[in-house]
């Protein structure tokens, strides 16, 4: 009974953690969208600086996007890797 | 297929070189530590290809978005970012559910290498070309301008 409850808490905690980590995936999309919209505005004003703006945009998008990727990696690890490890630690401690 | 901009080609080649170097470094570390196995190699290959593919798709998206109107560009970027995040998520899930074929750690690490590559380049660029010294604008100067 206690073991089942403990495993349930571990799985629930991992699932909640993964969900919270994925909140980080929302921000980069919104931020990148705003940045590119402003880049379009800048190119509209000064079409000759398109190359520079594109290069800067790519740099900015990579940096913004990795934040979401960190969250994604953590969420995947929490769902697929962490529960097994935590349950193993629990079983070892019970023995 | 739309023609790739020279800027996009240059950036992708730079990131691909970094990802290749990073994957080789991972293999080297695993060999030295005695953790090397086929899943480690396959995981690094999967992660490396996904990282470069994601970067190329992102560059193409930026190249396309800068020719659109503001609202269209915003929607294109948000859709593209969501789809690419999903693609990377699927790759990670694939690596997680097939541990005999792919090592999840060596799949996940290459996905973060483009950020390292860009950060290092920005850092080196800032070191080589420091910002020109400008006279500091103090509170008094601003007051003078207002006057």
Determine, yes or no, domain membership for B146.
no
Predicted-complex ipTM score: 0.83
Give the model confidence (pLDDT) of A22-33 as tens digits. 998 888 888 888
**Percent of chain B clearing pLDDT 90 (strictly above):** 60
Asked if B37 reaches chain A (Cβ–Cβ under 8 Å), the answer is no
Does residue A21 surpass a pLDDT of 60? yes
B71-83 average pLDDT score: 90
Q: What is the pLDDT of residue B1?
A: 60
Q: What is the pLDDT of residue B126?
A: 78
Does residue B93 surpass a pLDDT of 60? yes
B42-57 average pLDDT score: 96
Q: How many CB atoms lie within 10 A of CB B2?
A: 8
Rounded Cα distance between B125 and B132, Å, is: 13
Determine, yes or no, domain membership for B142.
no
Q: Which residue of chain A is at minimal alpha-carbon distance from B81? A: A29
H or E stretch at A65: helix A50-80
Q: What is the pLDDT of residue B84?
A: 94
**Percent of chain B clearing pLDDT 70 (strictly above):** 87
* Residue B117, domain extent: 6-130
Does residue B130 surpass a pLDDT of 90? no
Helices A50-80, B70-97: axis angle to 10 degrees equals 30
Q: What is the pLDDT of residue A7?
A: 92
Determine, yes or no, domain membership for B145.
no
**First and final C-alpha spacing in chain B:** 58
Determine, yes or no, domain membership for B126.
yes
Smallest CA–CA distance, residue A36 to chain B, in Å, is: 6
The total of structural domains in chain B comes to 1
Smallest CA–CA distance, residue B137 to chain A, in Å, is: 26
Determine, yes or no, domain membership for B64.
yes
Give the model confidence (pLDDT) of A34-89 as tens digits. 888 888 888 888 888 888 888 888 888 888 888 899 999 999 999 999 999 999 99
Rounded Cα distance between B100 and B105, Å, is: 13
Q: What is the pLDDT of residue B137?
A: 56
Does residue B25 surpass a pLDDT of 90? yes
- As a whole number, the mean pLDDT across chain B is 87
Determine, yes or no, domain membership for B71.
yes
**If pLDDT is split at 50, 70 and 90, which confidence band does B27 have?**
very high
Asked if A46 reaches chain B (Cβ–Cβ under 8 Å), the answer is no
Query: Would the pTM of this model clear 0.90, i.e. be above it?
Result: no
Domains of chain A and CATH, by start = 2-94 (1.20.20.10)
Q: What is the pLDDT of residue B139?
A: 54
Residue B88: its chain A contacts at CB < 8 A? 69, 72
Token output for A95: 């023995």
Residue B55: its chain A contacts at CB < 8 A? 62
Determine, yes or no, domain membership for B51.
yes
Asked if B124 reaches chain A (Cβ–Cβ under 8 Å), the answer is no
A vs B, Cβ pairs < 8 A, gives 112
Asked if A57 reaches chain B (Cβ–Cβ under 8 Å), the answer is yes
Work out the angle at residue B53's Cα, subtended by the Cα atoms of residues B47 and B54, and round it to the nearest 5 degrees. 85
Q: What is the pLDDT of residue B135?
A: 58
Asked if B49 reaches chain A (Cβ–Cβ under 8 Å), the answer is no
Determine, yes or no, domain membership for B140.
no
Q: What is the pLDDT of residue A50?
A: 84
Asked if A47 reaches chain B (Cβ–Cβ under 8 Å), the answer is no
Contacts of A82 (CB under 8 A, 6+ apart): A14
B102-120 average pLDDT score: 93
Rounded Cα distance between B21 and B31, Å, is: 15
User: Across the interface, do A77 and B73 touch by the CB < 8 Å criterion?
Assistant: no
């Amino acid at each position: 009974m206690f073991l089942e409850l403990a495993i349930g808490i571990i799985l629930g905690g991992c699932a909640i953690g993964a969900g919270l980590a994925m909140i980080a995936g929302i921000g980069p999309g919104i931020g990148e969208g705003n940045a590119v919209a402003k880049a379009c505005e800048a190119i509209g004003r000064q079409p000759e600086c398109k190359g520079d703006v594109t290069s800067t945009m790519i740099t900015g998008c990579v940096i913004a996007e990795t934040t979401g990727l960190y969250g994604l990696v953590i969420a995947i690890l929490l769902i697929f890797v962490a529960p097994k490890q935590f349950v193993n630690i629990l079983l070892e401690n019970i023995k | 297929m739309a023609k790739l901009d020279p800027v996009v080609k240059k950036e992708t080649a730079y990131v691909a070189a970094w990802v290749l170097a990073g994957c080789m470094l991972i293999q080297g570390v695993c060999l030295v530590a005695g953790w090397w196995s086929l899943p480690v190699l396959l995981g690094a290959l999967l992660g490396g290809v996904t990282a470069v593919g994601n970067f190329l798709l992102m560059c193409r998206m930026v190249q396309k978005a800068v020719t659109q109107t503001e609202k269209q560009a915003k929607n294109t970027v948000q859709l593209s970012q969501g789809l690419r995040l999903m693609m990377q998520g699927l790759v990670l899930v694939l690596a997680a559910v097939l541990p005999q074929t792919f090592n999840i750690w060596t799949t996940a690490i290459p996905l973060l290498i483009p950020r390292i590559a860009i950060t290092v380049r920005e850092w080196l660029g800032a070191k080589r070309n420091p910002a020109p010294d400008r006279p500091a604008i103090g509170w008094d100067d601003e007051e003078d301008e207002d006057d």
